[in-house]
Structure 1
Amino acid sequence: MPGENLTRAEAVERAGVVSVESYEIALDLTTGPETFASATTVRFTATEGASTFVDLVAPSVRSVVLNGRELDPAAVFADSRITLDGLAADNELVVVADCGYTNTGEGLHRFVDPVDGEVYLYTQFEVPDARRVFACFEQPDLKATFQFTVTAPAAWQVVSNEPTPEPVPVPARASDGSEGSEGDVAIWSFEPTGRISTYITALVAGPYAVVRSSLTSSDGREIPLGAFCRKSLSAHFDADYIFEKTRQGFEFYESTFGVPYPFTKYDQLFVPEYNMGAMENAGCVTFTESYVFRSKVTDAVRERRVVTILHELAHMWFGDLVTMKWWNDLWLNESFAEYVSTLATAEATEWEAAWTTFSAMEKSWAYKQDQLPSTHPIVAEIKDLEDVQVNFDGITYAKGASVLKQLVAWVGREAFISGVSAYFGKHAWGNTELPDLLTELEATSGRDLKAWSKLWLETAGVNTLRPVIETDSHGRIMSFVVEQTAPAEWRTIRPHRLGIGFYSLSDAGELVRTHFVEVDVDGPRTDVKELVELDRPALVLLNDEDLAYAKIRLDASSLRVALEHLADIADPLARSLVWGSVWDSVRDGEVPASEYVRLVLGGIARETESTTLRTTLNQMVLAAKQYVAPSARTATLAEVGDTLWALVGEAEAGSDTQFQLVKFFAHVASTPAHVETLSGLLDGSVGLDGLTLDTDLRWELLEGLVLNGAAGDQEIDEMLAADNTATGRQAAARARAAKPTVEGKLAALSSVVDADVPNAIIRNTGLGFVHVNDPAALADVVQPYLDAVLKVWNERSYHIAEEVIEGFYPAPLASAELRDATAAWLDTNAEAPPALRRLVVESLAGTDRALKAQSTDA
């Protein structure tokens, strides 16, 4: 039986039989807290006499009527499918079902606010979860129009893809069934959408607080804007700023693409217990409500919110107006949105250093993902829905965006944008595959992109570039060669357009660029004749300006200078590239982790870019906890904590640097002196100028105390009583899971495996579970974790299974025992679903890398 899966072959076969015209969907959200009523009318054409199926995940199906013919639900509904035989040329299908609310962030998620008891609902349909709300042909190439009718409490906001209509009150019913006076329930009847895919339809309902505005599109239409959040968060909601970034994005995209915004309105809704950053539902974008800042956040998070706002707005063109035919071209959505949102952030907002952020965070993610055994081409082979679920990764997003940046450098920005604009014009409201885009880009650029596509989009792996420099006795360059290598598993050698920068120490002690060339590199060795006869500088930086997608190595002389003067590099993007190069060398076992920790501690306080600061500190913590030699771990952690606290004292009062250093100090505190400092910060006996001890920071300080056994359930309960909010409950779950005992870790694992708790609680419990100083507490949890993997995969939804399997893998052990136990599970479960095995294989790869780094550090 298919379960809830769908193969690409089945989707192709169904699309050959069916063409969908429209959906009419009636949902009644007043039937109780477990289920809601769903009635769907689908009109579609088909090959006469053929058979197919429609998708639905529901606790019960009341009726199925095909072309006026009653079908027995018990006979035609099984797993996630309703079988349809004997189709006519023109068909009408009516399905009435009771569908279930979820607490997993999939389908129609139901949340009860602990602050005021109010109920909030939102949908999340990507990849295959519209079928949890209404019967549908759940694949992206069967586009149709969608008309929603929703019955809900009259006091609610009800939002979908089209503008919200005036609700019509529903007369109350007397006990004898006769109509009485108007009650507390209303009906919203939305207009039909344009032709879109099932996965970008949406419904958000509840007593959300709303702020409204509007803008004028490039074609003269007035586009209504809405910004929504829960009532209990509304005091913290900066809707005006969100509208400002939205307007900047509209203007940038419409002028850049030459295509007006394609939908009728644009609402942005910040919803609870969200599984991801945001989702590009057409005209009805949903965001994680962690972007409503109830406490101080870092500049990195503030910038990330802007990129996310512009990423989802870009999807209105990339993905919603023009949609991939099947999920193997998911990159046509995500890579383009990632690239153009960074471009828009850098050029249309105050976050002008967005490409530095991209280098520090997105490319680091891509390089890490591309070196896993599970790496795949950007245009991936997607055999079924389980395949695509695990492919929302650093390849699809960050590598794809990096490769697009390289393509723009190669064909020219004007030709690239012209090609994209033509692509939108030709394929509006339709579905595309890779050749459709390449055809337009070839026409505008005059370049044959087939070879480029094969090398960059259809093969996997990341190349390594390193300079080989020969000089004479006077330091003059006699030969400059860029060597390119590829990993043994993925031997592709690719063409790269990249910059080479020369950096020298100024009289003020800064490393500043004194020379720059942009060149094409191809093949195993490329001679760069433009640099011959020049004086060798202090530091040579390949991929200066970050045009190329490749791992970069410094030559021995440049590495020595970088290790001594990294913080002195004046340009933040160049500095980020060097930070990244050294970190990548640590991950590859070429530079000892202890040396990297000392490098970060010696230079990080002078880093000016918030995301680079946060990313580098996270990498340092990983190195200190998993990559240094195990015998040095305790001393290294103590040194990290001591130095971070010293740097806190030197940081500018109230600065982002001070704030981040305090947060990371709380995360790595490991000695009695650290505990004393955390306790002092929490009770106010230790104060810092410019630091506000707000609610979220108090939770982080308490978690640091729990981590060290200096606080426990009593203190967690007391803080939760003072912050009994959704965020407070999540923070409490994380703090409880951070208890440094075997019993505490086993209890944390059991709390998510053996109980039905919401997705956000699972996520935060996992973060606390792996938060350890001494990983010994995790040793006895390895086998219970592995024993639970198949159970969780078979019994829970995909997103919950992923949270548990990835989030609770005891990676901090970083031991041969963990490696062997994980490998044994893979050997024993050779027939497990490929998507599940991929999650475990990726975790094992992380342990293998940590062991390699430890051997270098020994």
Structure 2
Amino acid sequence: MTENLTREEAATRSNFTIDSYRVLLDVRGEDTFDIEETLTFSGQRDETFLDFIGVEVSKVIINGTDTEVDWDGSRIYLKGLAEENTVTVHARGIFSNSGEGLHRFVDPVDNSVYLYTQYEPADCRRVFPTMEQPNLKASFTFEITAPEEWTVLTNTEEVSATEVDGGVRHVFAPTKRLSTYLTALVAGPYHELRSEKDPRFGIFCRQSLAEYLDHEEIFDISLSGLDVFEKAFNYPYTWGKYDQVFVPEYNLGAMENPGLVTFTEQYIFRGQSTRAQRAGRANTILHEMSHMWFGDLVTPVWWDDLWLKESFAEYMGAWASTQATEYTEAWVAFTARRAAWAFLNDNRPTTHPIVADIVDLEAADQAFDGITYAKGAATLRQLVAYVGEEAFFEGARIYFKRHEFGNASLDDLLVALEETSGRDLRAWAEQWLHTTGASFIEVNGKSLNQTGTQPLSGEAIVRPHRISVGGYSREGAELVRVDSTTVELTNTAEVDLEGDVIIPNDEAQTYAIVALDEQQLETVLTTRIADPLARSVVWSGLWEAVRDSRLDPARYVEAVSRFHSEPDSTLLGQMIRNCQYIVEHYTMDPDTARTIWLGICDDSWRVAIDDQDQDRIYLWRSALAVAGAALPEAEDLLREALDTVRGDRDERWKLLIGLASTGSVSEADLEAELINPSEADIVAHSQAVASIPGNRREAYRRALEESLSNNRMSALLAGATATYEAEEYPFFSIALPVWRERTQELAERILYALFPQGEETIEQAQEWLEGDGANAPSALRKIVLDGLDSRLRDKRVRDTFAGTTRFLPEER
């Protein structure tokens, strides 16, 4: 048995044409659900297989004839096929608690049961038998039997509901042609709201979260976004209704199921939320909406072209935020967080081109990374600068009409864009989409130089960049743009600009790391850049300089302390996270660094209170909780902060987890916080209890041995790996068994959480890669290779600045 599927196997099966699936599910059970499916398809081969992972396959009928069931646990083998076929399968599936397939959740508040599906890239086969590959599209008709009090949703409208056996059978209209991973089911006593302006739009969440659902903003963004996309693409929304459901224990931010988009419940804010959090939610809503065209209407042939939908959706989410919402700073947020994610992935030995070589499903599952999303989106932003926005959108319009309800490849897209732009994009695509690594744009005085080496080939990076370059001078306490030009940069360029600092790519039009010369570096470390987008570009470059051992981490922390009142909450949040990493990984004396960082957090929090800046209060208080989690002497400070929290359970838990991690609260104290607990309270309580020194080994045991949901398992692991008096766990001896015995989602959660942090890990990881892990699945080796790269980088930064790294927060 193998749950994997290779690209070659998928290509062999691609000569079939699927007409339709009729799927009957009875989801009233507690552990398993009944399946009856009829699949009609045609082809010239007399045998193939269906993908199915479940409990039982009891009957297979091929063209009216019962046949012997040949199922190995993941594939149902079909033989004796004709040119036209009708296959019926009776089976039984199992509910998931990992967020893969059909997830079943029991709300601890009222014991209500909630179901939802999550399939991408290949977990539809956990719910009904399929030919699980994106280029075998079909029409799907669902009939779902559920308890009578439940709401049941799929991609299309319900056409009938009939009482049966103490339940209700819901029948839904056939879908338009879809890939299997885009079908969806949601069921349970969900709270429902419908838009008064456009009844196609519905929002759903659990009953116990209804009081926190700020549906007005979600509806406003959704309706504005749809209007913007329909005009931009000149193609009307084609999927009928547009339901958006916030679901528990979700592994992703959201999923673009047409007509039934699912979102993590983390986008329902039970307490205070920052502008960055709300802007992030808006971006995600628009990201998924753009998928209705990029990905759903036109779908990649195989996962090599995953970027064709994800990079576009990432780009369109930010673009549409600036067009359809109040969050016009979307590119600032993209540069601060998403580009940093891309640089992290792209500088590792496991990097890959934007157009990746995805040999199988395990590789596809790990391709949902910073390169596929953020590097691809930044590259598309450069493509727009290269061909012009109108040519870009006109090419997209041609692409949609030409390939609607079908599949397409990179070549299909390039053909459309070449038609509208008049440019030959083959060389551009080769330089951008088929190479690896991040470009550096080095500034020396007024000279710009592109440098960089591809991690995989060792060749120099030579990419064409069309970018803005700004000249910035001091005006009062800030650097203000006083001059600008547009540059076509491949190797070098000279800019004749006024200004104390020259900032290339100051409008974030390309994918590149900006590296300033020492004089200009000192200026930006001590003087705030007035423009938030240019500031985000520079701070992204500063962090990469720290990671590359080009900038002393102490200077970065000092600058964050100096600019503690950063007004953009996305950028400030990223600056804080970077400092937290510096303290734990880049210092020779972490105890001293922790104490000084705690002082910076405390000072910054108090100034934010004085300024009555709610976002900064939130961010610096959260930073205080993390800093205090490693310092018992921070107890009084964390308790003081706890006393300032009113009616915000999530904020209370952050501080309580910080106190628990040093043993500064008892289990009884934590138990007293569980008054009418929600799932979020239970998960946070679990982490807090697991964090208490003395409880961690037991938390580790439970996480690995008990059948826990994805979030509850992760909470135990977060507690078990708390920094203060850290425990050591046998990562390299359990990696292969965990990978074999768990689903990929749960295995990755366990192994990423437990990857060891110490310098001794370097030798251990190298030995494992050459020994026990030499023939391990590539997705598992990637976890170890990435972890090893991080530990090597940590050591290199520490060694480079050994004896010089100090944190000297300025007096304020």
TM-score bracket relative to the smaller structure? over 0.9
- The one-character-per-residue Cα deviations of 1:561-595 (angstroms, maximum 9, x if unpaired) are 11111xx2111111111211111100001111122
Aligned ranges 1:57-76 → 2 under 5 Å? 57-73=53-69, 76=70
Cα distance in 1 for residues equivalent to 2:501 and 2:142: 61
Aligned CA distance change for structure 1 residues 680 and 5 (closer, same or farther; 3 Å): same
* Other structure's SS at 1:78 match: coil
Paired residue total? 796
**Do structure 1's residue 765 and structure 2's residue 716 form an aligned pair?**
yes
Q: Deviations over 1:804-841 (max 9, x none)?
A: 11122233x3x2x1222222222221011111111111
Which of 789, 801, 805 is 2:735 aligned to? Answer: 789
Q: 2:36 is matched with which residue?
A: 39
Separation in 2 of the partners of 1:296 and 1:165? 41
Q: Is 2:796 aligned against 1:852?
A: yes
In the alignment, which residue of structure 2 is the partner of 1:805? 751
Question: Matches of 1:712 and 1:337 in 2, distance apart?
Answer: 46
After TM superposition, list the pairs within 5 Å mapping 1:660-675 onto structure 2: 660-669=619-628, 670-671=630-631, 673-675=633-635
Q: Output one character per residue of 1:637-660: Cα deviation in whole Å (capped at 9) or x when no partner.
A: 111111211121111225211111
Equivalent runs, 1:587-736 vs 2, <5 Å? 587-605=547-565, 607-629=566-588, 632-651=589-608, 652-653=611-612, 655-669=614-628, 670-671=630-631, 673-682=633-642, 684=643, 687=644, 692=646, 694-719=648-673, 721-736=674-689
1:716-759 per-position Cα deviation (integer Å, ceiling 9, x unaligned): 2222x2252210111122223333x4x54332322211111000
Deviation, structure 1 residue 261: 0.3
Q: Does 1:344 align with 2:320?
A: yes
2:348 matched residue in structure 1: 372
Match of 2:286 in 1: 310
Q: Are residue 745 (structure 1) and residue 696 (structure 2) matched?
A: yes
| Contact 1:215-1:224 at 8 Å conserved across structures | no
Correspondence 1:316-331 to 2 at 5 A: 316-331=292-307
1:180 is matched with none
- Residues 58 and 100 of structure 1 are in contact (CA less than 8 Å); yes or no, is this contact kept in structure 2? yes
Report the Cα offset of residue 693 of structure 1.
5.1
Which residue type is aligned with residue 527 of structure 1?
A: A
Determine if contact 1:291/1:305 at 8 Å carries over to the other structure: yes
- Looking at structure 1, the residues matched to 639 and 478 of structure 2 have their Cα atoms a distance apart, in angstroms, of 39
Distance 1:706 1:510 in 2: 42
Instruction: Choose which of 136, 141, 145 in structure 2 pairs with 1:147.
Output: 141
Is 1:334 aligned with 2:293?
no
Quote the offset at 1:503 in angstroms. 0.7
Cα separation, 1, equivalents of 2:234 and 2:75: 42
| Alignment of structure 1 residues 804-823 onto 2, 5 Å | 804-811=750-757, 813=758, 815=759, 817-823=760-766
| Partner in structure 2 of residue 7 of structure 1 | 6
* Alignment check: 8 A CA contact 2:469 2:484 kept: yes
| SS of residue in 2 equivalent to 1:777 | coil
Q: CA RMSD in A?
A: 1.5
Secondary structure of 1:296's partner? coil
Question: Structure 1 residues 577 and 604 mapped into 2: Cα distance closer, same or farther (>3 Å)?
Answer: farther
SS class of match (1:158): strand
Alpha-carbon distance, 1:680 to partner = 3.0
Q: Which residue type is aligned with residue 486 of structure 1?
A: T
Q: Confirm or deny: 8 A CA contact 1:114 1:726 kept in the other structure.
A: yes
Aligned partners of 2:703 and 2:719: how far apart in 1?
A: 13
Cα deviations by residue, 1:266-297 (Å, 9 ceiling, x for unpaired): 00000010001001111100100111111212
Q: 1:370 to 1:39 in 2, by over 3 A?
A: same
What aligned pairs does 1:69-88 form with structure 2 within 5 A after superposition?
A: 69-73=65-69, 76-88=70-82
Q: In 2, are the aligned partners of 1:214 and 1:224 still within 8 Å (CA)? A: no
Indicate conservation of the 8 Å contact 1:280/1:316, yes or no: yes
Q: Specify the code of the residue in structure 2 equivalent to 1:563.
A: L
Matched to 1:713, the amino acid is E
Contact 2:436 2:455 in 1 (8 A): no
Counterparts of 1:140 and 1:71, CA distance in 2 = 28
Partner of 2:805: none
Name the SS for the 1:136 alignment partner.
coil
**Is the 1:749–1:808 Cα contact (8 Å) retained in structure 2?**
no
* 1:442 counterpart SS class: helix
Q: Distance in 1 between matches of 2:47 and 2:142?
A: 27
Identity %: 40
1:836 corresponds in structure 2 to 780
Report the counterpart of residue 827 of structure 1 in structure 2: 770
Q: Kindly indicate whether the alpha-carbon contact (under 8 Å) linking 1:119 and 1:206 is maintained by their aligned counterparts in 2.
A: yes
Deviation at 1:445, TM superposition (A): 0.2
Any idea what the Cα deviations from partners look like across 1:484-537, whole Å, max 9, x if unmatched? 23246442321111221111101x2221011111111113xx232x51xx55x2
Superposed displacement of residue 671, structure 1: 4.2
Partner SS, residue 505 of structure 2: strand
* Alpha-carbon distance in structure 1 between the residues aligned to 2:361 and 2:450: 40
Name the CA distance, whole Å, in 1 between partners of 2:755 and 2:159. 47
Deviation per residue, 1:736-787 (Å, 9 max, x gap): 3333x4x543323222111110001123333334441x4x523x32xx2222
> Relative to structure 1, is the Cα distance of residues 257 and 300 closer, same or farther in structure 2, using a 3 angstrom cutoff?
same
Distance 1:460 1:215 in 2: 46
- In the alignment, structure 1 segments of 5+ residues that lack a partner are 173-182, 217-222, 470-476
Match of 1:486 in 2: 453
Q: Distance in 2 between matches of 1:161 and 1:90?
A: 27
Moved more, 705-714 or 154-163: 705-714
Q: Deviations over 1:213-247 (max 9, x none)?
A: 2656xxxxxx6111000001111111222111100
Q: How many angstroms apart in 1 are the aligned matches of 2:618 and 2:361?
A: 42
| Contact 2:438/2:452 (<8 A) preserved | no
- Work out whether residues 23 and 42 of structure 1, in 8 Å CA contact, stay in contact via their aligned partners in 2: yes
Task: Go from structure 1 to structure 2 and tell me whether the alpha carbon gap of 1:481 and 1:796 turns closer, same or farther (over 3 Å shift).
Answer: closer
Task: Name whichever of 705-714 and 257-266 sits farther off.
Answer: 705-714
Aligned partner letter, 1:616: M
Counterpart CA distance in 1 for 2:296 and 2:400 is 11
CA distance in 2, matches of 1:189, 1:847: 54
**Does the 8 Å CA contact 2:33/2:92 hold for their aligned counterparts?**
yes
DSSP-derived class of the 2:348 partner: coil
Alignment of 1:450 onto 2:422: no
| Conserved? CA contact 1:154–1:167, under 8 Å | no
Deviation at 1:694, TM superposition (A): 1.5
List, as ranges, runs of 4+ consecutive aligned residues in structure 1 with deviation greater than 3 Å: 487-490, 670-673, 766-771
Q: 2:158 aligns with which of 148, 164, 168?
A: 164
Alpha-carbon distance in 2 for matches of 1:341, 1:798: 28
Q: Which residue identity does 1:728 align to in structure 2?
A: D
Distance 1:302 1:55 in 2: 39
Per-residue Cα deviation, 1:322-362 (whole angstroms, up to 9, x for no partner): 00000000001100000011000012100011100000011
TM-score by length of 2: 0.96
Inter-partner Cα distance in structure 2 for 1:19 and 1:661: 56
Q: Is the 8 A contact 1:467 1:483 kept in 2?
A: no
Correspondence for 1:472: none
- Listed one character per residue, the Cα deviations across residues 410-435 of structure 1 (whole Å, up to 9, x for unaligned) are 00000000000110011000001110
Alignment partner, residue 525 of structure 2: 563
